[in-house]
Amino acid sequence: MKKVAIISTGHPPFDERIFDKIGKSLQKFGFQVSIIVTTSKIETEIEGIKIFGKTFETNKSNSRKKISFILKQLRTINPELIICSEPFPVIVSFIFTLIQKKKSPAKIIYDVTEWYPENIYLKRNGIRKFILFAIGHLINFLSTNLSDYLFIGEETKVLRYRKYSPRKRYSIISYYPVIEFYNSSTRRVINNELIFGYAGVISVSRGLEIFYKILAELKNQIPEYQFGFILAGRFENENEKIFLEKFPKLKINFEYHEWTDYKNFSKFLEPAHICFDIRPPNKIYERSLPIKIFDYMALGKCIVASNYEPIRKIFEIAKCGVMVNPTDFQDMMNKIVELIQNPDLVFEYGVNGRLAVEKFFNWNICEAELIRAIKLLNLYD
């Protein structure tokens, strides 16, 4: 039985892509899977997958400790394949292969799901921001070239990595849902009661204030409707939890659910008719394909989303909702009101989304490509 180590320095051990998708798929095909993280203190085995984790403060001394911890776990596991969820683990894994060259000719896959280094430098200010941007590109360049293969989460990211390493082999392993975890729950609007939903990381930068303004305006424009809003996930900024007090003051049916495991989170949204993904523009969101789009589709929900190109391509295939200009509040309101006035269309979009996931956008498709890539590395017969 070949051994696989999946390493992350930025994701929790039960991140759905790491544990429920890649980890379980590899286990299903006969691999012994271990997960190494530096985001949680944990040592356990769940559903046959071993998990080793430790947390570290951010400083130079602890960076060395973090490297030492990862190397120690890799020596214990001695994997034939290492899958890295960020650039840093790729570099550490390459050091491991040099140390273990005669004992363990492990292959390294860099699993690209984030916009590096934008996701770091956009959070900084001043000259340091640009220094981090340059350093981030250098680290990402090195990680790409030190790896044996790339998994890339979406087409929009491919060009950057072709520039880093034109001949590097890669596969698109997208963010499609494990459809067995989602109940098709498309609902018709009855008795003028309509429920909106949102799930994921919660923040103003991801549309929280927009959702509030939309619901407030809908109460004014269509007073004969009883609106509801289901909010599920974790807050990025504790200060923004003030919205948990603001939503009920709109006199709507408001529910908040903290994040739970991947298998169960979708149940929170089953009562919803329409789900939001309206993110204000920035250099990441405008080029990204949000995972939640597919989650909403798997549930059979009509979607209102920002009119960014990666999302538009999915909507053109799935016909699962409407796209709005996230900087034009009137455009949002016009399109949402039009949806509310056409409840059969809300239902149709939900049905379309679920059918598209069943045919084109489910994890079984990704799993087949995952195994094809492993075969190319001569790690699976």
Do the domains 3-176+362-376 and 180-359 sit in the same CATH topology, yes or no? yes
* Nearest by Cα to 195 from 315, 299, 276: 276
Angle at 352 between CA 348 and CA 355, to 5 degrees: 140
- The pLDDT score that the predictor gives to residue 60 is 57
pLDDT tens-digit profile of 55-76?
987 665 578 899 999 999 999 9
pLDDT of 9 above 80: yes
User: Given a cut of 60, is residue 282 above it in pLDDT?
Assistant: yes
Banded model confidence at residue 283, pLDDT cuts 50, 70, 90: confident
The whole-chain average pLDDT of the chain stands at 93
Axis-axis angle for helices 343-359, 309-318 (nearest 10): 100
User: Tokens 């590096």 correspond to what residue?
Assistant: 116
Least confident range of 88-92, 97-101, 341-345? 97-101
Architecture (CATH level 2) of domain 180-359? 3-Layer(aba) Sandwich (3.40)
> CATH code for 3-176+362-376?
3.40.50.2000
Q: Which of 23-27, 65-69, 95-99, 117-121 has the lowest mean pLDDT?
A: 117-121
Hey, where are the domains in the chain? Answer: 3-176+362-376, 180-359
Mean pLDDT for the stretch of residues 150-177? 95
Scored b (16 or more CB within 10 A) or e, 156-183 reads bbeebbeebbeeeebbebbbbbbbebbe
pTM of the model: 0.93
Does 140 score more than 90 pLDDT? Answer: yes
Per-residue confidence (pLDDT) for residue 104, from 0 to 100: 64
pLDDT band at 338 (very low <50, low <70, confident <90, very high): very high
Count of alpha carbons within 13 Å of 162, Cβ hemisphere only?
A: 7
